[in-house]
Amino acid sequence: MKKNLSLIIILSIFLAFLMAMTYFSQRVNRKNRTALNVYVPCGLTLPFKELGMAFEQAHSNIKVEGVFDNTVILTKLILNKDKRPDLFISPGEKEIGLLDKEGLLDKGSVKSFGRYELILIAPSSSKDINGLEDLLKDSVKIVTIANPDFNSVGDYAVMALKNLGYWDKLQKTKSIMFTNTPIEALTFIATGKADAGIHYNVCPFQTDSGKVSQGAIKVIAQLPSASYPVIYNYIGILKSAKNNKIAQSYIDFMFSAKGQEILAKYGLGGNNNPGAGAVLGAAKVKVTVQAYYPFNEEHLYIKDYLETLPQKFNGQVKVECVDFRNDEGYVLWRKTGLACGGILINGKNKFSINKDGQVKEVEFLKKIDLFWSKEELEAAIKQELNS
């Protein structure tokens, strides 16, 4: 009996020793892990906390140190305080563009992910606003937007309002309240201090739902996609990154199946992800193709064809398809001066095409393959690319 008791005591001491050694070893390993410093917009807190934990599980020797704050503040920390993270994440081109302008960014590392649309929002109690045109009502006094000089969402919002013909009218008749951050603009709407505003459709509503009370805000309408560029998030490595290779591993993990699965949960992956092709500083858009049609079943094939052009021309061509059956599309179409469905290439409708040694005048109106051909359209695009 005594012998068995002694054996149990010895085994217990041995197991306790093993547990202590394991704990000590893990603690030492955790302490000695390489830190990867990532600056993340606070509106993207949820997906990037989960992404960071998943990356650490796959890389036990790395500790992801996320700094979560408003992107304006993060940008200023880098520009004014000489802070140097390894990675910077931007909810649009404005913020990361400020770093690029100062030569702080490793352009080759930058990749885009996720996708946003602009939405018109108002306090949930509002009964006066049912569409963009209602912004011009006398009852609407204050429209709030994040400062476009420092915020991507504000920059895109002003651009869209200008393209839709609202901006000048709003400036003359309303109080435009620019806020330092997008969250401030949302707060003003949620508390009824502003009558309306423009924001992204996903961030922070899906990506950090605790940032604002959704019950206090309602979505009125989505702005026409043709009134602003496609909006992506961007992630890039700073030139001064201490852990460049690890930073690149983090980006690679983001675009792996596991990383995309995590981002997709928050509306930032899956079909929204443009993949490696959409990169800041890659091929610049030189040609904009704008198509104005009633995109019903009879004309949908035109849109399907046009949307193949950006890839065909290596990202140098942007396509905007405007359905003039809705009010916003009708306003955009009427501003072009077109009398029927048609296409503008860099704002022009008529082209002289050199075909088989002969010059042919082509006007891109009405139906494809009847009044003009794909070959003629692509020839006109090539002319603009080479001009």
CATH assignment of the domain containing 334: 3.40.30
3-class secondary structure, 8: helix
Residue 7 lies in a domain: no
Whether residues 245 and 260 fall in one domain: yes
Pairing of strands 118-123, 62-69: unpaired
- Pick the last residue of a domain from 180, 202, 222: 222
- Whole-number pLDDT of residue 313: 80
Domain of 132 in residue numbering reads as 118-222
Whether this prediction's pTM lies above 0.85 is answered by: no
Residue 89 lies in a domain: yes
Whether residues 332 and 381 fall in one domain: yes
Whether residues 212 and 246 fall in one domain: no
Whether residues 190 and 126 fall in one domain: yes
- Whole-number pLDDT of residue 2: 54
CB atoms within 10 A of CB 181: 22
Whether residues 82 and 174 fall in one domain: no
Whether residues 159 and 145 fall in one domain: yes
End-to-end CA distance of the chain: 97
| Sheet with 34-41, side-by-side order of all strands | 62-69, 34-41, 87-90, 231-238, 105-116
- Whole-number pLDDT of residue 271: 38
Question: Tell me, what amino acid is at 90?
Answer: S
Find the CATH number of the domain harbouring 237. 3.40.190.10
Residue 10 lies in a domain: no
From first to last of its 387 residues, the chain has per-residue pLDDT tens of 555 656 666 766 767 666 656 555 455 455 678 999 999 998 899 999 999 999 999 999 999 999 999 999 999 999 998 899 999 999 999 999 999 999 999 988 999 898 889 999 999 999 889 999 999 999 999 999 999 999 999 999 999 999 888 999 999 999 999 999 999 999 999 999 999 999 998 765 555 545 555 568 899 998 988 788 888 899 999 999 999 999 999 999 999 999 989 998 888 864 343 433 334 444 466 889 999 999 888 888 888 888 888 777 866 788 888 988 888 788 888 888 888 999 999 999 999 988 777 888 999 998 888 889 999 999 999 999 887
Residue 342 lies in a domain: yes
Residue 15 lies in a domain: no
- Whole-number pLDDT of residue 327: 80
What domain count does the chain have? 3
Residue 282 lies in a domain: no
